[in-house]
Amino acid sequence: MTSLEKGLFLSKLAIAVNVLLAATKIVTGIVGNTYALVADGIESITDVFSSIIVWGGLRLAAKPADREHPFGHGKAESIAGMLVAAGLLFAAGLIAVQSIGEIRHPQQAPAWYTLLVLAGVIVVKETLSRRVLRAGDALQSTALKGDAWHHRSDALTSAAAFLGIGIALIGGKRFNAADDWAALAACGIIVFNGYRIFRAALDELMDASVAPAIVESIRGLAGGVEGVQAIEKCRVRKSGPGLALDIHVHVAAEMSVRESHRIAHRVQDALLASPHRIGDVTVHIEPDED
């Protein structure tokens, strides 16, 4: 199974898991009288939509270039990442509003068995988060990484709810609103992760450069090709699951056009064969006047 296929599979798996968890948490939260668990279920519903968006974005980004999109469809993955971030921020706002309402009008203490549900949710969501994050790292996919943080945020909000409900059960009536305060505190975590994902996706849409270490590695690979005298410009940007770059290489000034063309192809082949998942390379030849 390729990295892309694994990413698509995990996105579909996440959809099924989140539907089941959302229903379980909302029903248990209503019956067990804890809004923290209901809020957690609402956040899981946003996870369902985010996983659908990620799955669609990955499929579209993997499509080859065509007449209408000569540079490919890689931006679809970045757009999916921004939509995932927007979903996180929306969920945080919804949970915050409802939590404040519950804090102002405290209800009776939550049922003890809600802790069992939360413990199971934490294990499932953290496991799913780690698997999706590994797939996102392998693909260098902002959308998949965002989806992984969706799952981790769910695990964190569940952990906060677990703590709040535990305090409410141990502390008695005075602490009935502890789980609502826990849900409110978890919103801060969700907002932070949503902002991080949004910034990364926005940078990709604005064609921001990749990490300097990657640029230097690419310059080193190109500079090691026989016949290359030096590397002038090297501009690298993320495009979907891969990288696209423009590179200017210096060759001997007296070299023929035919030979310099061959060197350009050798540079291109070396970069495409590198572990950096480079999808498109434009090589410019410059005469070395030194």
Q: Across all residues in the chain, what is the average pLDDT?
A: 80
Inter-CA distances, 74 with 2, 15, 25, 43, 85, Å: 18, 23, 36, 28, 18
Provide the 8-state DSSP code for 232: E
Please give the average per-residue pLDDT across 38-64, as a whole number.
75
Q: What was the pLDDT predicted at 265? A: 92
The one-letter amino acid code at 279 reads: G
Q: What was the pLDDT predicted at 191? A: 84
Domain residue limits, the chain: 3-205, 212-288
Query: Domain 3-205 in CATH: superfamily?
Result: Cation efflux protein transmembrane domain (1.20.1510.10)
What is the Cα–Cα distance from 247 to 106, expressed in whole angstroms?
63
Say what percent of the chain tops pLDDT 90: 10
Domain 212-288 = CATH 3.90.1300.10: no
pTM check: above 0.85: no
Residue with tokens 């969706």: 150
Please give the average per-residue pLDDT across 12-21, as a whole number.
82
Say if strands 278-288 and 242-252 run parallel, antiparallel, or are unpaired: parallel
Task: Please give the structure tokens belonging to residue 135.
Answer: 């797939």
**Dihedral sign from CA coordinates of 122, 123, 126, 129:** negative
Q: What was the pLDDT predicted at 262? A: 92
Residue 184 burial by Cβ neighbours in a 10 Å radius (0-12, 13-18, 19+): buried
pLDDT, one tens digit per residue, over 129-179 is: 888 888 777 776 777 777 787 777 778 777 877 887 788 778 776 776 776
Q: Is the pLDDT score of 266 beyond 90?
A: yes
Q: How many CB atoms lie within 10 A of CB 154?
A: 30
pLDDT, one tens digit per residue, over 71-107 is: 777 778 788 878 878 877 887 887 788 778 777 776 6
Helix-, strand-, coil-residue percentages of the chain, each rounded to 5: 70, 10, 20
